[in-house]
Amino acid sequence: MACRPRLAPVLRRAGASGLARAARPTAGASLNALRCMTTTPARQFRASGARHAKFTSDAYPDIKRDARFSELTADHVAFFRELLGKETALIDGVTGEVATDDMEPYNGDWIRKYRGHCKLVLKPGSTEEVSKILKYCNDNMLAVVPQGGNTGLVGGSVPVFDEIVLNTTRMNQIRSFDDVSGILVADAGVVLEVADQYLAEKGYIFPLDLGAKGSCHIGGNVATNAGGLRLLRYGSLHGTVLGIEAVLPDGTIVDDLGKLRKNNTGYDLKQLFIGGEGTIGMITAVSIQCPQRSHAVNVAFLAGESYEKIQQVFREAKSQLGEILSAFELMDLKSQQLVQKVRNTNSPLEGEHPFYCLIETSGSNAEHDSEKLEKFLEDVMTKEIITDGVLAQDETQLRSLWSQREGIPECLGHWGGVYKYDLSIPLEDLYKLVEDVREKIGAAGLIGDSDEFPVVDVVGYGHMGDSNLHLNVAVRRYDKRVEQVLEPFVYEWIAKVNGSISAEHGLGLAKKNYIGYSRSETMVKLMKQIKNLYDPNGIMNPYKYV
């Protein structure tokens, strides 16, 4: 299921060279091949309309390079080369020539919205190296962007100008795991899916799951306080992360890699790094509490005729499924239609329904869970709260139902780009925003089926269980007119209902200027004080966050 993130750079490159086409077999097909030794034709992605993004500095002319930062010189590079010792630990575009394709995966983001002028990528292999690098950068006023798998959605992990990219790829060791307590200690650069598979062997599960699991790094997940699909069940990283090892810009190693669930001794400073987006220091390792993996997982995919009905389903699910409910995801018809169109597949349900939701249960006893779930499904069906639905009968169907939800972001990007809004909205108003935005864009004459219209469609989906809506506007190209319709309209709308302009994606560059819609002046001022305290020179991930 995690093909999207791995594919993204490939697609990007393929698009650039005009050669295109990455093949992706369906999950079911590859499994068939595995167990039955049958060759199955791989499904082809149509050539994505990919191209390089505009430079962020051109798209946002108001952002000026901070003159306090030094320009990179050959001397700087020589220091880093000597320090890291390996030619492969850095990509040097300062003293040598680097192919654009080698630099782009670090310089641009996967939704092709942000692109910096990166000249140097460093891949330290240890916390000590990170410490030495940051100290040197701080002393020499060199700006830095910490980067993990670069799967962020708000431009937080790519440079704006010539900041040095500090990538965690080479710090990818699992340090320890306690079989009894379920506490995992791992380097920041461990890929989320790798960590989860490691835990699966031991009967545990990583308390975070998201579509980009195949390429995102857990350090990045923690730095951005990623939410994802399991938040409903396991809570946010602010609760599950027990300790952090991080490096401050002056080279200080913050060793708070505790393994204690309870520790009421002083300020809980690690919380500042969780969701700090690398603005006060760089996370190099985390210690995290992992829950027991559920043996019995069931997935149902339901359809309802209105958003009100889906809310009723959610209420019923909470009361009837109780402790086994592990995900409740909302999808609107448009989002599903676009997925089917891009993948050239059929919906799991017959006919068209205005809304869909995916319910996952996980528990320790298959029979107990099935009985509960079936009773619940029968109940919502006979009460006509839902109009149709399917229940996964095997693991392959289960994965394929999940991919209806997880595949949305990838498929939306198919036409060229996506304006993404990740919002917390009180449940009752959640979908109203999508309708309002669709109407507004329609009224502006920007939406249509042919190439002259920038907007393909406006869709809404998200983690309904957490009141988290993803409002996505799939576009053929990024267009100022679309932006003017969307902003500040969306933010003002959110402020009106006391929602949050960023539920789980963070602030990065995209939301920096809009924090005022969700936080008071006093709060922002306090945040800035923290930033100045730990990063007085402002070298950590500049131009972003607060």
Partner 1 sequence: MSALRILVPVKRVIDYAVKPRVNKAQTAVETAGVKHSMNPFDELSVEESVRIREKKRYPPGVEDICVVSAGPTKSQDILRTAMAMGADRAVHVEAKEGDEMEPLAVAKMLRALVDKEKSNLVILGKQSIDDDAAQTGPMLAGLLGWPQATQASEVKFEGDSIFVTKEVDGGVETVKAKLPMVITTDLRLNEPRYASLPNIMKAKKKPLVKMSLSDLGVANERRLKVVKVTEPAPRQGGGKVEDVDGMVSKLKELGAL
Residues in contact with partner 1 by CB under 8 A are 31-32, 35-36, 38, 40, 86-88, 295, 300-302, 348-350, 366, 374, 377-378, 381, 386, 388-397, 399, 401
Report the residue number, 378 or 451, with the smaller CB distance to partner 1.
Answer: 378
- What is the smallest separation between the CB atom of 369 and partner 1, expressed in angstroms? 12
Report the residue number, 88 or 265, with the smaller CB distance to partner 1.
Answer: 88
Identify which of 69, 84, 70, 77 has the alpha carbon closest to the alpha carbon of residue 98.
77
Report the residue number, 20 or 349, with the smaller CB distance to partner 1.
Answer: 349
- What is the smallest separation between the CB atom of 353 and partner 1, expressed in angstroms? 12
- What is the smallest separation between the CB atom of 308 and partner 1, expressed in angstroms? 20
What count of Cα atoms within 13 Å lies in the side-chain half-sphere of residue 321? 30
Report the residue number, 20 or 83, with the smaller CB distance to partner 1.
Answer: 83
Report the residue number, 153 or 299, with the smaller CB distance to partner 1.
Answer: 299
b/e map 456-495, b = 16+ CB within 10 Å: bbbbbbbbbbbbbbbbbbbbbebbeebeebbeeebbebbb
Report the residue number, 221 or 298, with the smaller CB distance to partner 1.
Answer: 298
- What is the smallest separation between the CB atom of 350 and partner 1, expressed in angstroms? 8
Report the residue number, 87 or 97, with the smaller CB distance to partner 1.
Answer: 87
**What is the spatial distance between Cα 246 and Cα 250, in angstroms, rounded to a whole number?**
12
Q: By three-state DSSP, how is residue 449 classified? A: coil
- What is the smallest separation between the CB atom of 382 and partner 1, expressed in angstroms? 8
**What is the spatial distance between Cα 110 and Cα 305, in angstroms, rounded to a whole number?**
34
SS (H, E, C) 208-223: CCCCCCCCCEHHHHHH
Report the residue number, 367 or 452, with the smaller CB distance to partner 1.
Answer: 367
452's CB contacts (< 8 A; 6+ apart) are none
- What is the smallest separation between the CB atom of 390 and partner 1, expressed in angstroms? 4
Residues of the chain by 3-state class (helix, strand, coil), percent to 5:
40, 20, 40
Measured N-to-C along each axis, helices 3-17 and 100-107 cross at an angle, to the nearest 10 degrees, of 140
Residue 49's CB is within 10 A of a number of other CB atoms, namely 16
- What is the smallest separation between the CB atom of 126 and partner 1, expressed in angstroms? 16
**What is the spatial distance between Cα 22 and Cα 10, in angstroms, rounded to a whole number?**
7
Q: By three-state DSSP, how is residue 253 classified? A: strand
**What is the spatial distance between Cα 157 and Cα 506, in angstroms, rounded to a whole number?**
11
- What is the smallest separation between the CB atom of 304 and partner 1, expressed in angstroms? 12
- What is the smallest separation between the CB atom of 354 and partner 1, expressed in angstroms? 18
Both structure tokens of 77: 């590079």
Report the residue number, 327 or 359, with the smaller CB distance to partner 1.
Answer: 359
Instruction: Please give the helix or strand (H or E) that residue 363 lies within, else none.
Output: strand 355-363
Report the residue number, 62 or 87, with the smaller CB distance to partner 1.
Answer: 87
Residue labelled with tokens 């799939």? 474
- What is the smallest separation between the CB atom of 512 and partner 1, expressed in angstroms? 37
Report the residue number, 28 or 235, with the smaller CB distance to partner 1.
Answer: 28
Residue 522's CB is within 10 A of a number of other CB atoms, namely 8
- What is the smallest separation between the CB atom of 208 and partner 1, expressed in angstroms? 22
34's CB contacts (< 8 A; 6+ apart) are none
498's CB contacts (< 8 A; 6+ apart) are 426
Instruction: Please give the helix or strand (H or E) that residue 310 lies within, else none.
Output: helix 307-321
Q: By three-state DSSP, how is residue 368 classified? A: helix
